[in-house]
Structure 1
Amino acid sequence: MKQNVRNKVPAPVTHGGVPAVRINAEAQLRRSVLSTLLWENQYYENGQTIAQRIKELASQVDPVKVAALAVEAREVQKLRHVPLLLAAALAPRGGALVGDTIARVIQRADELAEFLAIYWGMQEAPKGKGSLRPSPLSKQVKRGLAQAFIKFDGYQLAKYNRDEAIKLRDVLFLTHAKPKDEAQAQLWKQLVDGTLASADTWEVALSAGKDKATEWTRLLSEGKLGYLALLRNLRGMEQAGVSKALVEQAILARKGADKVLPFRFIAAAK
């Protein structure tokens, strides 16, 4: 029997068994990134499988293109977690591109700690050990996080200063970020000392036990209610007796609406 024969590559098929067109790693990465809310299960795949595929594909694609995709996912598609995953996957490639990408895709204060959770979670635990001790951060990861940290004011830091596994002050200690001025230095000292005043958010206002209609009205009038919070609490404001005209004014003003994904509007309408 003849042995010198050409190897046959199996024809690609979808998860549903339907014939598919073979595409390169970059196209696969783009499709996976822009069609997922990270770690959310889809019909044929679970969230962990999708995340693992994104990490593997990111290592096969030109780092400049990976960085560009991370920025597009964050700034154009308004996705939050998958850009952090791409930035973390980019980190081992090294270079200034890593720090620049991290600094750009982190746009909310809680994403500082979330990035570290993803970054450390991507590293394999030592054989025979059930957990991974966080490894030292690379120079570019530190630089990117430090640059991102400077962007946030007192309200943003207070809002996301949560008692979680990785705290904002942990990020500050690890990166050795330098404040841009004395006011920011004092703000960071309060963060480290645990004396940072609570942010004037709707959660804080309502948990204080004050009149709901009064607090909703104040937050709307002062422009302190984010657009997503506005959509999520439409029914509560209606039940509390908040002025319909004031609520409509806030909806039409669309302050921050560009960062809200379409399905949020559908959920609010139900």
Structure 2
Amino acid sequence: MKFNSKAELLNFEGGRSYRPRPELELFLRVASNFVREPKFYVGADEDLEELLKAFERAIKANPEFVAKLIVYAREELFLRSLPTLGTIILANHGTYKGTGIPRKVGERVLTRPDMLTEALAMQFALFGKPIPNSLKKALRSAITHFDSYQLAKYRCDRCQVKLKDVILLTHPKPRDKAQEGDFRALIEGKLKNTRTWEAKVSTEGSTRETWEEILDEFIRYKQVFALLRNLRNLIEHEVDGEKFRKAMKILADPKEMRRAKVYPYRYLTAYFTLKRMKVDSATQAEMRNVAIKVLREALEKSTAMLPDFKGRNLVLVDVSGSMDFPVSRRSAVTRMMISAFYSAIVAKKYETAIAAFASDYRWIPAGESIFETAENVLRSNVGYATYAYKPMAEVLRKREHFDRVFVLTDMVVYSEDYGDDAFQRTVRRYRKTVNPEMRLITWDLAGYGQVYLEEHDVRNVYIGGFTEKVFDLVKHLEKGNRIVEVINERVSI
């Protein structure tokens, strides 16, 4: 059997690539997957079909790893739909029957009421009835952890699968009399959503008084994501200054960001929203400036929590046409925005040079803050193709020494010549003539299931995901591309 195999695949643009082992393929598909969302090169249904096949291959190769990966996707990568889907797959797969693993995974994964209704919807769509006992037990246990506010907020009355269906199908035992009443009210349609900001605005109107009441809720429950989404509303209505300052203290704390499982790039989208916002008064201008300053400070503080890397780094940021594609149908966030954001974080924390690449490339100056650097990347305007070999060829010509090369990309790199492997050849020459120990760390932001450098070479490291926790993963992978071992060590079931 040959281990040093030649590139055997062509990617969507005709560039050379490799087929990874089942565990790595599943990890890369999982880490950036919001389930049934279209990508630039594949539609939603095709991506789901390939994901299900990847699950099957990985389960056959390493069932224990798959179960741990599902938990990792929820607890470390902050994904919701993907871990929910993974739980459904385990519950219906013969490999896990009688092991108790699907229930244990489900209890770790299903941490929000809307995940329960999504789980049942996935079960009916993919596997039908009957519902596996392990899934019933996980749902039955999960729903008892939610209070009346959460049950009312996510009752999903207009959904095909409603939250009351979870109760009717799994028969959970309420933890006390109050919850027994909540379950009964939910089934009877009497449990109403009155505390969410959407409900208050709908019933009371979008006034200053209403938004100050909403802000009290945001502060009391430290609702980081809701604050980020509504900064513009709070500023436009010129809410109470003291309350606004309390809210800003919550946003300024990077520990609250992690606790709330908010993707850090949400701070970037909030920043862009405020930058584009037109203000009508001096008060609004001051509040907006305060909020922008807080967003900056929060990210500056968050970089201090990242692991230390010795040496010099090069970051290649893919700003090609395929990266300018939203991560989901409901989002304005693109993979390009995420890659620009995390490249700026690398530059802020570590000794780093940044190049944005597409048909051409451009070296990116560091801004005063993470936001300014990210904006510089997004304004690079270097075309639409994915010629990663071009900036790499320049550092090869100049014989610049880098200990690590980060590539933030959808991994569909190619050149002007169909079937060529220009990037791979440039990397090999760089290692041969400049730094044999250079780690090439590919941050896969799309998960198409292919890799462009040999997996068995420990200097080629593949990572994925949308959270800063990925940097912790990089630290664990410094000694080589051992993602299976790292996740096995970090997750216990």
Instruction: Pick the TM interval, shorter chain.
Output: 0.7 to 0.9
Closer, same or farther in 2 for the Cα pair 1:69/1:199, shift >3 Å? farther
Q: CA deviation at 1:102?
A: 1.5
Paired residue type of 1:262: P
Q: In structure 2, how many angstroms separate the alpha carbons of the residues matched to 1:240 and 1:10? A: 58
Aligned to 2:33: 36
Aligned to 1:108: 112
Point out the structure with the larger strand share: 2
> Cα RMSD (Å) of the superposition?
2.2
Q: CA deviation at 1:73?
A: 1.0
Point out the structure with the larger helix share: 1
Task: Say which of 256, 259, 262 aligns to 1:260.
Answer: 262
Paired residue type of 1:263: Y
Q: CA deviation at 1:227?
A: 1.7
Number of corresponding residues: 253
Paired residue type of 2:21: N
Residues 71-118 of structure 1 deviation map (CA, whole Å, 9 limit, x = unaligned) = 111111111111111111112222311111122111111111111111
Closer, same or farther in 2 for the Cα pair 1:47/1:245, shift >3 Å? farther
Closer, same or farther in 2 for the Cα pair 1:199/1:106, shift >3 Å? farther
User: In the alignment, does 2:161 pair up with 1:157?
Assistant: no
Q: In structure 2, how many angstroms separate the alpha carbons of the residues matched to 1:142 and 1:211? A: 41
Gaps of 5+ in 2: 273-493
Secondary structure at the counterpart of residue 59 of structure 1: helix
Equivalent positions of 1:108-257 (< 5 A) are 108-123=112-127, 134-163=128-157, 164-210=159-205, 212-222=207-217, 223-224=220-221, 226-244=223-241, 246-254=243-251, 257=257
Q: In structure 1, how many angstroms separate the alpha carbons of the residues matched to 2:214 and 2:68? A: 37
Paired residue type of 1:195: K
Q: Is the Cα–Cα contact under 8 Å of residues 190 and 196 in structure 1 kept in the other structure?
A: yes
Calculate percent identity across the aligned residue pairs.
31
Q: In structure 1, how many angstroms separate the alpha carbons of the residues matched to 2:37 and 2:192? A: 34
Aligned to 1:128: none
Secondary structure at the counterpart of residue 233 of structure 1: helix
Q: Is the Cα–Cα contact under 8 Å of residues 231 and 265 in structure 1 kept in the other structure?
A: yes
Aligned to 1:85: 85
The structure that has the greater radius of gyration is 2
Equivalent positions of 1:6-45 (< 5 A) are 11-45=8-42
Q: In structure 1, how many angstroms separate the alpha carbons of the residues matched to 2:149 and 2:204? A: 21
Aligned to 1:98: 102
Q: CA deviation at 1:10?
A: 8.1
Closer, same or farther in 2 for the Cα pair 1:9/1:19, shift >3 Å? closer
TM-score (norm 1): 0.85
Aligned to 1:69: 69
Higher relative contact order (CA 8 A, sep 6+): 2
Q: Is the Cα–Cα contact under 8 Å of residues 123 and 131 in structure 2 kept in the other structure?
A: no
Aligned to 1:130: none
Q: In structure 1, how many angstroms separate the alpha carbons of the residues matched to 2:73 and 2:248? A: 25
Q: CA deviation at 1:9?
A: 9.7
Paired residue type of 2:49: Q
Paired residue type of 2:140: A
Residues 114-155 of structure 1 deviation map (CA, whole Å, 9 limit, x = unaligned) = 1111122223xxxxxxxxxx4121111111111111111111
Q: In structure 2, how many angstroms separate the alpha carbons of the residues matched to 1:232 and 1:11? A: 45
Closer, same or farther in 2 for the Cα pair 1:176/1:242, shift >3 Å? same
